[in-house]
A and B are shown apart, each in its own frame.
Chain A
Amino acid sequence: MRSFFAFFKKELLESFRSGKLMILGILFFAFGVMNPAIAKLTPWLLDVLSESLAETGMTVTAVKVDALTSWTQFFKNIPMALIAFVLLYGGIFTKEYESGTLILVLTKGLARSKVVLAKALLLLSVWTGGYWLCFAVTYAYNAYFWDNGIAVGLLPAALHWWLFGIFTVCLCVLFSVLSRNSAGVLLGTGGTVLLSYALEFFPKLKRTIPSALMQSASLMIGAQEARDYAGAVILTAALCVACLAVSIPIMNKKQL
């Protein structure tokens, strides 16, 4: 256990000293501010544009914004934050294969499983921290300007999206032990997410595949309930565990 924490501490130190942690912190915070800001600015923007729009024959009626507008923005923007996160941290394993830094600590008797788990824990922590930071900032602004109570299904919707991020992280770990370079990690992770999208064409699968967790709109306004997505939640959680469980034996047999 000591060696696990020693390696986790090293990962944390690396994130911190390389500046990645700060970049992501700023990014998630900025996204958190942007969501209510865009919602707040929308009426003003339309007002400014209304005259020129009127000339082209379009009429702009008064737009009503509330917390839901801001939360809609949140779920629109968070995929970008997730992509930025994956791009920044996608090389967390492969960079070490390429530079050979792992060899020295592994020949010290550090178990390979601990390398996988420590890195996975770091990724999960950073995603979780960043995501909920973004959520908290948006929540606070929304509470100040409007009323968050209007988004009745907000918590399950947010939890679903967080779980989808966790799923992406686990995919990253799996493709990191399978692949030798970060291109492989990004392709594998991106490809699997796309595959999940593609499966949405089958109505039977629509509610049970991981990407279903991103369909937050109807959940948020209460048109659907969390239990409608129970299948997707269970399947995604199981896939997360499976990804990590499979990664360890693969890493154990990897030639470094």
Chain B
Amino acid sequence: MTVDILTIQNLKKSFGEKEVLRGLDLTVPQNSIFGFVGRNGAGKTTAMKSVLGLLRADEGEIFVAGEKVVFGQTATNRHVGYLPDVPEFYPFMTPREYLRLCGESLGMNRAAIRKKSDELLSLVGLSDETHRIRGFSRGMKQRLGIAQTLLASPKLLICDEPTSALDPIGRKEILDILLSVREQTTVLFSTHILSDVERICTDVALLNEGRIALQGKVDCLKEAGRTEAFTVEASGNEQADALARAFSNVTERRGETLVFAGGEKEFLAVLRFIAENGISVRRAERMEPSLESLFLEVVAK
């Protein structure tokens, strides 16, 4: 049985006149890597801060590992590691000193702090760093951020847009680290970069206009979004005309590119026709659904 590490029920939150969350429902299964997708300003950060008890929700309930989150009294935070989009550390400390402060705040003993710090700093590639945090790049801060969130061995790791501000190499490093911690914890991260989701996530939810518009396993969603269609790009208009005349299931024509309706059987029939009649084509492919097209579809509704 899979257990849900995080459950959000009918969460509502307004800032003044602006309704940011309008009844958000979300469940995050244990040991998943959960992508929380939405446009800038969709309310991702608001939802995450509510989970952490940093914001008072207007309505709705949040449960972390079965315990209710209460604003201000953040007992549930012992299950949670949080990484803000731009994590801010005390600049006058070294990474090791900062982890010691965090460890002592958590009530860990000295030996455990040292052992865990060594382990985590090498995981994020900062073990040789003895400089103060003041001079760190964004990527380094982000990596230190992951180390400090994992210090408590949280059941749930919440990352707010961990890759948004990074260059491609920094992004890859962060994604690899997130992927490698999956054994130990559940990861919930928000992003607007869909390729990141496709790369590492097992589950995904799309936040649109303050509600969850779409949620599920990445594989299932892609499967469900599969349309029975394929395209053939002929080389030359005459070749395209020949194909269009021969088949009645052409749904769309853009110049030399034809879109056919149908699955495996129809696709093979077209290929056979092309081979037998010596029609030259540049490209013939089944349409793979991407998260992007799925989400664009949902948002457009």
Contact = CB atoms under 8 A, between A and B. Distances in A.
Whether A associates with B in a native complex is yes
22 contacts: A2-B104, A2-B107, A3-B105, A3-B106, A9-B101, A10-B101, A14-B92, A101-B88, A103-B84, A104-B82, A104-B102, A105-B102, A107-B54, A108-B106, A108-B152, A109-B78, A109-B152, A110-B105, A112-B72, A252-B72, A255-B54, A255-B56
Contacts of B82: 103-104, 107
A95 B97 CA distance: 20
Nearest to B79: A109
Interface of A is mostly: helix
A107 B80 contact: yes
Most-contacted residue by chain A among B72, B77, B100, B152 (CB, 10 A)? B72
Interface in B266-283: none
B29 interface: no
B77 A108 contact: yes
A13 B92 contact: yes
Interface residues of B, number: 34
Contacts of B152: 108-109
Nearest to B72: A252
What size tier do the contact residues of chain A reach? 20 to 34
A58 B57 CA distance: 75
Contacts of B54: 103, 106-107, 255-256
Contact of A101 (B56, B90, B105): B90
A103 B148 CA distance: 12
Interface of B: 52, 54-56, 71-75, 77-78, 80-82, 84, 86-90, 92-93, 97, 100-102, 104-107, 145, 148, 151-152
Interface in A92-115: 99-101, 103-110, 112
A6 interface: yes
B87 A104 contact: yes
A98 B266 CA distance: 62
Contact of A109 (B55, B56, B77): B77
A109 B77 CA distance: 6
B102 A108 contact: yes
A17 B74 contact: no
A18 interface: yes
A14 B148 CA distance: 19
A118 B54 CA distance: 21
